[in-house]
Structure 1
């Protein structure tokens, strides 16, 4: 496997487990995040890994204008969900600041390349083959509101376009894999909810959410949904985003920040559907409805 393709395979494994867990109703909700570089907010800063986003131009549009370990020009998906919750972002699991009252906010366990443990990805595949309900373990640990994201348009990211595309078409083999996986994820979650007798687990149709703006960019204010804002080579999809890379002047009109990850603007569109999308996007309910049901139980 070539180095450029390896991070994409890791993202597939991580996205299967990407989740936002909000435990049972209480005065303050704790927010826990599991996943890969799409939701990592700095764990890899503390790890010996090449999957890092702790140097410019990452963070160019973050409130501090500094690289934080988020694979974004600014805020990522968990940050924006926290905004909707009216809470500060959960700190990285490995941050030395995660102690005391900060623990009540929650914690972010995501790691780019799923690298908190060296064998995390391998272990996930092994467990998923043996137990088709690994997410049930979150329920056993007390999680009562869990969003599980489906796999997005992996074949359409700039890295894949740079490797395989002649005229901007998405990589067909990866899109076939996505279209096979996502319906099975929804079926698995439905089975979990039936077994638990409650809609604890919610699936997010990230493929459809992404395709809304990829197929109709003008509606969402994008002028470019194929070329990464930061990078080099075809589609700016070759190699890493570094200080030596091309960087677009207006990140708000680009859907992709680097070879694999959305811009903050795209992340805001994604979270908007998480919060308010109908059943074509969120099944069986969206996050706003889930939180309203939680308040009614108080």
Structure 2
């Protein structure tokens, strides 16, 4: 069967699982603050934390959990749509915890494809760190259920990966960091793509087969970047760079699918959908998309601090703080992401080389 039909069937199976059997679906989540659920809470020196008010004000229980929004992440919402529990943070689990067999979230605020990204946060789990943690999880699985069962579980699990935003926002776009001075954008993009290729290959070697990579949104339109414009507009150059990144990742994934045995990688491109949400918020039931609900100081990091003032109606705002969508916006984005991976029909590719 041609590769694109295999991939499409896999994705449809992911989302069409009956409720009675959905508990068997295992998901592993890798990424940054857009999908973190509390790993950084366990990093004592990390400056990339959201475990204080007003984060979590609209989450179940109304308390901060380490999610960088007022409620749920996109990962939480997708897990709910799949009929499974949102995977817990890796650092909250012990190696002997049975929960590792049901899915784990490795995402970390400030994380990037490059290890130097987010350096000034002191502690965060880079994508390399997250992969190492997954490798440790795999070893723990083997101890618990044996090599064959652990390999089967990892081969059949679904891996959601969303990373790269910080490589721009908290690296290349920061004038005081070395990468932005050392590289042209073409050179920096080349470094990102080559590094990402090695990382996705490592995940494949550990057993990942069904991987969904979430492309970057229009970073030039998030509040922290708009603040750099004298008129509060989107930064066109940043958005152009993001589109170039997405294009390169899409080509990388096609190449990996052609060469990694049994690989079923999918690129979920939601750039235009996010841009439309920002440019036409009223079409989605929002009123404000050029600033955040939480009155933040972009010069002091752009996070929603305990003494910050909140907007009167949180569901009117696309953004919660200077970087992250609100719970209401995450619902819209998760719906589009979900429909994207269902409807996506990748181009035919050669059978993997052996």
How many Å apart are 1:119 and its aligned residue?
A: 8.1
Cα shift readout 1:60-91 (whole Å, capped 9, x = no counterpart): 00011000000010000111111011111111
Q: More deviation in 176-185 or 237-246?
A: 237-246
**What SS does structure 1 have at the residue aligned with 2:291?**
coil
1:97 and 1:254 mapped to 2: Cα distance?
38
1:156 and 1:183 mapped to 2: Cα distance?
19
Which residue of the other structure, out of 116, 138, 147, is the alignment partner of 2:203? 138
When residues 58 and 31 of structure 1 are mapped into structure 2, their CA distance, relative to the original with a 3 A threshold, is: same
Cα shift readout 1:165-207 (whole Å, capped 9, x = no counterpart): 2333211231121121111111111112222476611111131
Q: What's the RMSD between the two structures over aligned residues?
A: 3.1
When residues 37 and 139 of structure 1 are mapped into structure 2, their CA distance, relative to the original with a 3 A threshold, is: same
Which residue of the other structure, out of 293, 304, 320, is the alignment partner of 1:257? 320
**Conserved in 1, the CA contact under 8 Å of 2:204 and 2:263?**
no
Which residue of the other structure, out of 53, 57, 62, is the alignment partner of 2:54? 57
When residues 283 and 253 of structure 1 are mapped into structure 2, their CA distance, relative to the original with a 3 A threshold, is: farther
Provide the residue aligned with 1:116 in structure 2.
125
Higher relative helix content: 2
1:208 matches 2:272: yes
**What SS does structure 2 have at the residue aligned with 1:135?**
helix
Cα shift readout 1:207-251 (whole Å, capped 9, x = no counterpart): 1221121122111001001110113358x9963211211211222
Provide the residue aligned with 2:290 in structure 1.
226
Provide the residue aligned with 2:225 in structure 1.
160
When residues 103 and 256 of structure 1 are mapped into structure 2, their CA distance, relative to the original with a 3 A threshold, is: same
Provide the residue aligned with 2:36 in structure 1.
40
How many Å apart are 1:100 and its aligned residue?
A: 3.1
User: Size of the alignment, in residue pairs?
Assistant: 258
Cα shift readout 1:126-162 (whole Å, capped 9, x = no counterpart): 6853673531222222223211011111111111111
Bigger Rg, structure 1 or 2: 2
Provide the residue aligned with 1:173 in structure 2.
237
Alignment gaps of 5+ in structure 2: 1-13, 112-123, 130-166, 172-189, 348-354
**Conserved in 2, the CA contact under 8 Å of 1:161 and 1:237?**
no
Provide the residue aligned with 1:67 in structure 2.
64
When residues 44 and 215 of structure 1 are mapped into structure 2, their CA distance, relative to the original with a 3 A threshold, is: same
Alignment gaps of 5+ in structure 1: 1-21, 286-298
1:31 matches 2:27: yes
2:293 and 2:40 mapped to 1: Cα distance?
22
Provide the residue aligned with 1:11 in structure 2.
none
**Conserved in 2, the CA contact under 8 Å of 1:145 and 1:200?**
yes
**Conserved in 2, the CA contact under 8 Å of 1:203 and 1:283?**
no
**Conserved in 2, the CA contact under 8 Å of 1:159 and 1:237?**
no
**Conserved in 2, the CA contact under 8 Å of 1:231 and 1:237?**
no
